[in-house]
């Protein structure tokens, strides 16, 4: 956020910003409105989303046994530390696996073809009961009045992912 505010040429000089955070059409993980990465500093998130830079946004498995059996030191370590994450997903979502949010975000930066995207304006609620709520406007509907949504740049939002390919790529990297 400070780079954007301090350097007027920042958005022209940066290649792309890929970030993880927010929740669309689902509840957040901090409260029903907010996801932790956006909730932590919604003012900064709103500035990033509306700065005009090329922003790719990743808004959101489980072969832990294979990791545990691997000879790879990272795989074994990860298998051990993932117990908390697996327990959380089991208790919160009643699922036998985990979401690969962070590695998928990295893969979106490296290979964007693994995702499909929508383009629109994102604004972040910065106050009140919905503080941290990310709102997406696809610009398909026209409104008669001038609002805080008008004349804002669009960003690409990842809405689907080739999950089997992502799992395969993550597992391949972890098996070393």
User: Which residues are known catalytic residues?
Assistant: 101
Angle separating helix axes 73-81 and 163-174, nearest 10 degrees:
120
Angstrom distance (rounded) from CA 9 to CA 53: 10
Tokens at residue 77, please?
A: 């370590």
Angstrom distance (rounded) from CA 122 to CA 48: 10
Tokens at residue 114, please?
A: 């693994």
Angstrom distance (rounded) from CA 176 to CA 173: 6
Tokens at residue 70, please?
A: 């691997």
Work out the burial of residue 170: count CB atoms within 10 Å of its CB; fewer than 13 is exposed, 13-18 middle, 19 or more buried.
Answer: buried
């Amino acid at each position: 956020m400070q780079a954007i505010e301090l350097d007027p040429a920042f958005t022209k000089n940066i290649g792309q910003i890929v970030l993880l955070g927010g929740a669309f059409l689902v509840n957040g993980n901090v409260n029903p409105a907010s996801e932790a990465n956006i909730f932590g500093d919604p003012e900064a998130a709103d500035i990033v989303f509306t700065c005009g830079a090329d922003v790719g946004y990743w808004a959101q498995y489980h072969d832990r046994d294979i990791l545990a059996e691997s000879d790879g030191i990272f795989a074994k370590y990860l298998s051990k530390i993932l117990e908390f994450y697996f327990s959380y997903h089991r208790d919160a979502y009643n699922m036998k696996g985990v979401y690969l949010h962070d590695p998928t975000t990295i893969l979106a930066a490296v290979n964007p073809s693994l995702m499909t995207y929508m383009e629109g304006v994102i604004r972040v609620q910065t106050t009140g009961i919905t503080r941290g709520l990310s709102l997406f406007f696809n610009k398909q509907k026209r409104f008669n009045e001038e609002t805080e949504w008008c004349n804002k740049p669009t960003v690409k939002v990842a809405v689907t992912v080739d999950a089997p390919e992502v799992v395969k790529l993550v597992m391949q990297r972890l098996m070393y």
